[in-house]
Amino acid sequence: MPRFVLLEHDHPIRHWDLLLEVGPVLWTWRLDAVPILGVSCRASRVADHRLIYLDYEGSIGGNRGEVRRVADGEFAWVEDTPCRIVIRVRGAFFSGVFRLERGQGGEWTLNYCPG
């Protein structure tokens, strides 16, 4: 099963990076907050990251702060379209469904649901 990780990143301001293992890269979204059951949070799609970040904690080169693991685990694809990604996550901290949806303005939101 592919893996996911949620990293707390302190640069340039505190945020969280959700990374999904997709082949040789990690699809990445910058989140304004840690996902909470039933609460929508804003997500911004950012550049793919290297697989090393599945297991990495510490300083980021180029004076880009530090990352700390908040949660990790495995996921299974439920849906993958240009405007919606749904995955079933399983880990020590999260167990349920992450639903990433892109609105008409291009902005993404993340919803964490039981399931």
* pLDDT digit string, tens, across residues 6-36: 999 999 999 999 999 999 999 999 999 999 9
64 contacts 46 by C-beta, under 8 angstroms: no
Per-residue pLDDT tens digits for 57-73 = 999 988 899 999 999 99
pLDDT at 115 over 90: no
Question: Which CA distances in Å does 95 have to 10, 71, 78, 105?
Answer: 25, 11, 14, 30
The 8-class DSSP code of residue 24 comes to T
Backbone angles phi, psi at 52, to 5 degrees: -55, -30
pLDDT at 98 over 90: yes
Predicted TM-score (pTM) of this structure: 0.95
Decide: helix, strand or coil at residue 53. helix
Query: At 68, which helix (H) or strand (E)?
Result: strand 66-81
